[in-house]
Amino acid sequence: MLQKLKQRWGVNTLNLLLIICTFAIGGSLCGKAGVKLLELTELDKNVWWWILYVVLVTLLWPFFVLTISIPLGQFVFFKKYLIKVWGRMCGNQIAALNVAIFSSGAGSNAQKIINYFKNVSTVNIALIVCNNPKAGVLAIAKNESIPCLIIEKKQFENGDSYLQQLKEHKISFIALAGFLWKIPMAIINTYPHKIVNIHPALLPKYGGKGMYGNYIHQAIIDNKETESGITIHYVDEWYDHGNTILQISCPVKQNESVESLAKKIHVLEHQHYPATIATLLEKLK
């Protein structure tokens, strides 16, 4: 249950616990305040007393929850949460954010992202974009019933050739998951700070054209580095250059092989990339 809440709200474990505490403390104080106010009326505890109690608690609850959320550092979350609740009460439906995943290979990160958002009503993995007709990610897209767009290099480099398809799918955000081509400026300008990538090394080291997959791990081992890791960053017009969002490191042992290091990196990718995307998407809602 806690994991589902983390996915739904796009928060980490600590923030989830603070949110639950805010709900509990705010609800408790709200209930006590409602009782105290009704005691001033000296009304008998009959049906009307309980009806008034429910009305009072409903009206007081947002105030108490927002107040408690401030010292617990959850004010922004509860402000957005209450706006959503009010919108639903008024009959306003919140449209899901459509995400496109760009991938060139097997698609293990793409699968983790898809799994993460399966039960999140406000996020929809709407499109898989791939430059390799034989890539494993296409089988994943088929199994998950997600539309695919196979792109051609010259057209893609042309800039705006595929923008129309992205617009047709109402894409709001792009996540690169093992995508090997540089993103053209036309797409970057259309999605400013809405395109992210995960790199299997601690940038700015071991970044740039040709630095991907096992090539990176081999270079790290050859150079006798003592640590590696992942970098999640925004995408700009250069390879592996955009502003860093998150870096997580792991040790590189003396007898490390390319395969063992790759496994460590995959664990970090699968653990942190979907959750980071969720946090970024929460800010767009």
Measured between alpha carbons, how far is 285 from 279 in angstroms, rounded to an integer? 11
Give the angle 85-25-44 at the CA atoms, nearest 5°: 85
Spatial neighbors of 271 by CB under 8 A, at least 6 apart, are: none
Burial degree of 190 (CB within 10 A; 0-12, 13-18, 19+) = middle
- Which residue(s) pair with 195 in the sheet? 174
Q: Give the active site residue among 169, 199, 241, 272.
A: 199
* Residue 150 CB neighbours (<10 A): 12
Spatial neighbors of 199 by CB under 8 A, at least 6 apart, are: 207, 230, 231, 232, 233, 240
Measured between alpha carbons, how far is 9 from 7 in angstroms, rounded to an integer? 6
Active site residue 217: no
Q: What letter represents residue 192's amino acid?
A: P
Distance from the first to the final alpha carbon of the chain: 23
Compute CA 62 distance to the chain's CA centroid, rounded to the nearest angstrom: 26
36's tokens: 């105290």
Measured between alpha carbons, how far is 276 from 108 in angstroms, rounded to an integer? 16
Catalytic residue IDs = 199
